[in-house]
Amino acid sequence: MKRLAFLVLLLVASAHAAVADEFANVKCGGDIPKAMIGQRASNGTVMATEKKYQALGLKDLGGDTLSDRLSSVTWQICGAEYIVLVERGGMVRDVLAFPAHSKISPAFSGVCQYNGKELPGLYVAVLDALKHGDLLPVRFAWKIDEPRAKFVPVPAEGLTCPRSGISTADGGR
């Protein structure tokens, strides 16, 4: 009888693990990145996922394919914005709590320059759109370390990024 009870418990636990996704352990007011990293991304529709986690105020804000093995998805969770790095196969590798941004401090993703020289790799940043011109100074920035699938903070001093990579809905103008 104990063996049967153990098997039933194991089956129930396995079924729960099979339906769990990156939001299953997320709680507003908790450590959202910690709750998501290492989890499997949902393979359901965005609408179904948003509905399932409406208590979190979940909203898909878009995504990008970064390479053949890595994608990013931006979510609004509990009223804040998070960028999630997802490996091919669905494993959440890193989550960045992205700072607030606006028309005068727009969100950016793309290639940046340091002291006028183009840098390798992709960056996410908040820019200073009070300045004029095609290249805008950076307020906050992270490089996406593709091999490690991690966000790496980088110093803003001397870093500029083109206005063309602004991803804020109002265009930062």
Q: Provide the residue-wise pLDDT of the chain in tens; the chain has 173 residues.
A: 444 333 333 333 333 444 579 999 999 999 999 999 999 998 889 999 999 999 999 999 999 999 999 999 999 999 999 999 999 999 999 999 999 999 999 999 999 999 889 999 999 999 999 988 899 999 999 999 999 999 999 999 999 999 999 986 654 44
The pTM of the full predicted model, rounded to 2 decimals, is: 0.84
Q: How many residues does the chain have?
A: 173
CB distance 138 to 125 below 8 Å: yes
* Residue 2 parent element (H or E): helix 2-19
Distance from C-alpha of 4 to C-alpha of 78, rounded to nearest angstrom: 41
